[in-house]
């Protein structure tokens, strides 16, 4: 992995471990961490979505600072971030693990053991399972898209393993 990277994009499906990995990386590197979900939906527990042009403006301001970790699921309208990044980390954990994490996270949120920026409802739980299914259905297209960034993409297939994408 490029230890000189100052702009790191961490991406993957819901439940892949992006947030946990991003927090640990931010702590170990001192780089500021930004969650793409918070940029897209800046008002916690609301359905408000910041307009895409405004999201880009926020991200451009962050980029001008010269160093960042951005963490979030792939949004096609934000794919310019792959160009901006020095390093792209693709969290590609197995589907069964992601499903288990989604269910566990939901239970922790309902019980008040884990905070979240959205309402932990059955509707949201269904959306998360839908998003991870959609990711699987679009996997080939996404991996093909990533191939153009091959030198700076690192592919994590297990939470504790980091290797260059083949």
| pLDDT mean over 147-166 | 71
Is 3.40.50.300 the CATH classification of the domain at 7-158? Answer: yes
Enumerate the domain spans of the chain. 7-158
Q: Any bridge partners for residue 70, and if so which? A: 9, 34
Q: Name the pTM for this structure.
A: 0.89
Does residue 73 sit in helix, strand or coil?
A: coil
Q: Is the pLDDT of residue 159 over 60?
A: no
pLDDT in tens, 74-89: 999 999 999 999 999 9
Question: Residues 56, 57, 59, 65: is their CA dihedral positive or negative?
Answer: positive
């Amino acid at each position: 992995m490029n230890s000189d990277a100052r702009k790191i994009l961490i991406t993957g499906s819901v439940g892949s471990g992006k947030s946990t990995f991003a927090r640990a990386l931010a702590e170990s590197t001192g780089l500021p961490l930004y969650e793409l979900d918070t940029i897209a939906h800046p008002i916690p527990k609301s359905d408000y979505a910041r307009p895409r042009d405004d999201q880009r403006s926020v991200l451009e301001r962050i980029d001008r600072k010269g160093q960042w970790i951005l963490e979030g699921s792939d949004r096609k309208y934000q794919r310019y971030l792959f160009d901006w990044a020095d390093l792209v980390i693709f969290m590609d954990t197995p589907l069964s693990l992601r499903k288990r994490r989604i269910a566990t996270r939901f239970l922790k949120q309902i019980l008040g053991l884990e905070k979240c920026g959205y309402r932990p409802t059955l509707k949201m739980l269904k959306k998360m399972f839908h998003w991870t299914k959609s990711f699987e259905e679009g996997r080939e297209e996404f991996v093909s898209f990533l191939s153009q960034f091959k030198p700076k993409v690192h592919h994590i297939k297990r939470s504790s393993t980091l290797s260059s994408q083949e």
